[in-house]
Amino acid sequence: MAYDGVSLLIEGNLSFLFIDIYHINQDTPMVKLHIPPDLEQKLKNSGLSLDLSGELKKITVMFADMRGFSRLLEKRDAKRVLKILDIYFHMLVSIVRKYDGIVDKFLGDGLMAVWGLPENKRSDAYNAIRAAIEMRIGMFRLIPELVSIGEVPLEFGIGIGTGSAVTGFVGPAPRRDFTLVGNCINRAARLQSIASDNRIFIDSETEAEVKSYSFVLDIPAESHAHIMPKEKIYELEGIYEFSHEFESIRKHPRVIVAKVVGITKTSSQERKAALIKSIGEGGFGIEMHAHKNFNLEIGDEAVFNASRLSFFGDKDAKGVVVRKMELKGGGIFRIKTWDIGVQLLELPMEIKKRLLKILVGSKMVRGFNGHDVK
């Protein structure tokens, strides 16, 4: 179809926008401008347009990449590889779009996503790091999906950078591609290269944008001297999540962390993996995959190995189950996951202070928590 000199070509499930520019000299070949489908959709929805001569824009960019995929590639046939990638990308892409980002391109077993196009918003950095944490939740929820087809789940690494970038079109006349060039993009790519174990690394510009409503850890300079020797980088551990429903009654912030820990049932000393999804109100919100021989009921006591959560230092956290709800997933997930509330039996003062630090930024989250921003 075509409109106002713009033609939209549909190829399979992908759409590409081609803007035809005719020169006075009819012998000059037609120029076709190619942009990512997500950006094309945003332009149509917003009524905005791109400056074909180039622009300088403030953006937040994310690189996400699978770990160990190259080794997996050597042991699987092509159909199997594509099936595994499809499972991962289905989850990653849906989250990017949910939090108002665009998928700029796929990079083998990874992707590049951007916030701030076609126009930047105050919520761009928030949406990017919120999406990254939800991806960590998604990686946990995909485990049963992958196990069901006989695969060992992979981990990923995420790098996020914020700053100015040149946007425009490059390439010969038959196909000029939309591109982004900037130091923030280079930083995000480098940060992704050193992130592992489902960790999220951000640059100092992103940290400055989100520090009032997030919990970040300084990364020692010696650990990244070979990648970014003169810049400070941070690991994102948690982010304050504003809730219209519960905000008025909260005494403590709800921090989304999404980290996997070991949980031991006190009565039987059985141990399983769990996802600590959130910390707040003096307790945990956790998710567990359904296990035939491991069940937590209201009133059961459990011990969590919380050493991977800097909120707790190297200490275990003891708690009692106060609520449990079974969730039935659908679509790509097709799983059963337990959603469990755990009241902490002891909450040391230093942990309370760390949680309350994030409360300071909660008012800044009002009105731009991803779904509220227009």
- Give the tens place of pLDDT for each residue, 85-143: 999 999 999 999 999 999 999 998 899 999 999 999 989 999 999 999 999 999 999 99
Contact 178, 222 (CB under 8 A): no
| Type of residue found at 326 | E
53-239: in CATH 3.90.580.10:
no
* Phi, psi of 6, rounded to the nearest 5 degrees: -115, 130
Residues 355-366: b if buried by 16+ CB within 10 A, e if exposed: bebbbebbeebe
pLDDT-derived band of residue 171, with 50, 70 and 90 as boundaries?
confident
Distance CA 142, CA 163 (A): 32
**Lookup: tokens for 143:** 């485990």
pLDDT of residue 310: 83
- 335-371 tens-digit pLDDT: 567 788 898 887 777 777 777 766 655 555 555 544 4
In this prediction, residue 77 carries a pLDDT of 85
> What pLDDT, on the 0 to 100 scale, is given for residue 127?
93
Question: Angle of helix 124-141 relative to helix 78-98, nearest 10 degrees?
Answer: 140
156 neighbors 125 (Cβ within 8 angstroms) = no
Q: CB atoms < 10 A from the CB of 145, how many?
A: 19
As a whole number of angstroms, the distance between CA 352 and CA 252 comes to: 8
Q: Is the pLDDT confidence value at 233 over 80?
A: yes
pLDDT in tens, 173-232: 777 888 899 999 999 999 999 998 899 999 999 999 998 888 899 988 877 778 888 889
The full set of domain ranges for the chain reads 53-239, 254-358
pLDDT in tens, 53-81: 889 999 999 999 998 887 877 888 888 88
Give the containing element (helix H, strand E) for 266.
Answer: none
CA distance 214 to 191: 18
CB neighbours of residue 249 within 10 Å: 8
pLDDT of residue 247: 61
Q: What is the pLDDT of residue 291?
A: 81
For domain 254-358, the question of CATH label 3.40.1170.60 is answered with: no
